[in-house]
Amino acid sequence: MTQDELFKVLVAHCKEYGFIFPSSEIYDGLAAVYDYGQMGVELKNNIKRYWWEAMTRLNENVVGIDSCVFMHPKVWVASGHVAAFNDPLIDNKDSKKRYRADVLIEDYLSKIEEKISKEVAKGRKKFGDSFNEEEYRATNPNVLREQKKYDEVHNRYVAAEQANDLNEYRQIILDCKIVCPISGTCNWTDVRQFNLMFSTQISNTGESDDRIYLRPETAQGIFVDYLNVQKTGHMKLPFGIAQIGKAFRNEIVARQFIFRMREFEQMEMEFFCRPGTEMEFFEKWKQNRMKWHVNLGMGAENYRFHDHEKLAHYANAATDIEFNFPFGFKELEGIHSRTDFDLSNHQALCGKKIQYFDPEMGESYVPYCVETSIGVDRMFLAVLSHSYTVEELEGGDSRVVLKIPAPLAPVKVAILPLVKKDGLPELSQEVVNEIKYDFAYQYDEKDSIGKRYRRQDAIGTPFCVTVDNESLQDRCVTVRDRDTMEQVRIPIAELRQHIDEKVNMRGLLRNL
């Protein structure tokens, strides 16, 4: 299956098994807005819990808050979002489709990179052990030609980005003959800036002063609550404030399922520290966050850091943690050293002192801060795309199984009476009563046991427990493992402990 096909299958699977539905589907949906179904919400909640507990419980100096979506409009002036939270958009006049000009150019550059990688792979195959990649890259004419092309476009692109030169974006698109994937033509409009914030009105007088925004990031809620938390929590620097919540962006191009949505959820943490110590904490949080990801067991090779070449004006260091999605390595989480930009701007605009008195230094200052910011939905997509597996079984059969890390699985255990009679449903109910206070479970007595196993595999349930006639005598049940399909016989009295070892979040957190 190609990566593209896998992505399509995944979207269909999400719908069929109650993970994700298009929003308002009975009215043909709403672009880039999705609902989480009965399975999806459980997985999403587990992801959030893993993050929340790793942040707030495992770090004594990190506390959580829950601020509102609506905030005073001045917040977004101070943060720079009103003036500069823009994307450069361009339309194709033939297909009438809209694109982000920067993304068109970046995709073009990625394709050149791919070509170079393929050339290098060819060389590696040809020369085997004696292959010297550095020398090959420096001498192979195909690689050199592509690299030259890449460097030229990349340099123009970085310069255009820095100068915010929209005409140059368009010129690069024309010069590189980048076509619209729908119409196949180069018939482009000018490039325009487009602010990504949604706005609405707080009262009904219709005055323009009433305009407020739906927050495009949760971070500003943390900044404006900084003083309250610091004072009421008697927090000493360095300390962090974590938050999970909805964010809204009017994304121009939203065609990648839950990778880029208009309403999404973020898990953000701002770590405040003494100016001059921020790089130490930037490094610490980089390592800490990577460990959190790798700890899930989805393969260290599927993550990489991507350091930013061009820094936002407020940042003095920035990196992304990228994940190997079905459509390639893409940003999953951002880690930024944001200096004192946000707190200083709020201080200037609100006219109140937002400072910390440092008893060791005997002076007050505006703290610096390091941010970690991850999208819940992107994390959901990372888990799901990595977990989706099609396995060939003996006898020519196959099964679709979601190998979701067990502590994140929506349902932990399924209780399945072998038949719907002879007292097995009653005994199964006893088993349910034994485990229901600890684990999310499903009880299923419909269809053959084989079909029921497939249904549980398809939603990623780590354990299936079968209750059979023998169970009535020996009070043991058969427990089938999702990944190995191995079956063991276990006394009902020991079932809870057996399941717990694998699915409890405690084990995951302990390894951090």
Nearest approach in angstroms of CB 53 to ligand ATP is 20
Q: Which of 269, 332, 408, 508 binds ligand ATP (CB under 6 A)?
A: 332
Q: Does 374 bind ligand ATP (CB under 6 A)?
A: yes
In degrees, rounded to 5, the angle at the alpha carbon of residue 468 between the alpha carbons of residues 467 and 470 is 120
Q: Does 235 bind ligand ATP (CB under 6 A)?
A: no
Q: Dig out the tokens for 199 from the structure.
A: 């706005």
Nearer to ligand ATP, 215 or 260 (CB): 260
Provide the total of helices (H) and of strands (E) in the chain, helices listed first: 17, 23
Q: Which of 81, 170, 215, 249 binds ligand ATP (CB under 6 A)?
A: 249
Sheet with 98-100: strands ordered across = 98-100, 86-91, 192-195
Nearer to ligand ATP, 42 or 87 (CB): 87
For the segment 333-372, give every residue that binds ligand ATP (CB under 6 A).
333-334
Q: Binding segment for ligand ATP among 157-165, 223-231, 232-240, 327-335 (CB under 6 A)?
A: 327-335
Q: What are phi and psi of 17, to 5 degrees?
A: -105, 15
Specify the pairing of strand 62-65 against strand 239-248.
parallel
By the 8 A CB rule, do 62 and 240 touch? yes
Cα dihedral 297→239→339→341 (10° resolution): 110
Nearest approach in angstroms of CB 161 to ligand ATP is 13
Kindly give the residue spans of alpha helices, DSSP state H, lying in 164-218: 166-175
- How many residues lie near ligand ATP (CB under 6 A)? 16
Nearest approach in angstroms of CB 381 to ligand ATP is 9
Secondary structure (DSSP) of 436-502: TTTS-EEE--SS-HHHHHHHHHHHT-SEEEEE-HHHHHH-EEEEEETTT--EEEEEHHHHHHHHHHH
Q: Looking at this protein, which amino acid is placed at residue 446?
A: K
Binding track over 265-304 against ligand ATP, x by CB under 6 A:
-x--------------------------------------
Nearer to ligand ATP, 46 or 319 (CB): 319
| CA–CA distance, 411 with 415 (Å, rounded to integer) | 11
By the 8 A CB rule, do 412 and 502 touch? no
Q: Binding segment for ligand ATP among 225-233, 270-278, 373-381, 487-495 (CB under 6 A)?
A: 373-381
Q: Does 377 bind ligand ATP (CB under 6 A)?
A: yes
Q: Does 375 bind ligand ATP (CB under 6 A)?
A: yes
Nearest approach in angstroms of CB 184 to ligand ATP is 26
Nearest approach in angstroms of CB 453 to ligand ATP is 34
Q: Dig out the tokens for 461 from the structure.
A: 């349930």
Residue numbers at the binding site for ligand ATP (CB under 6 A): 217, 249, 251, 260-261, 264, 266, 331-334, 373-375, 377-378
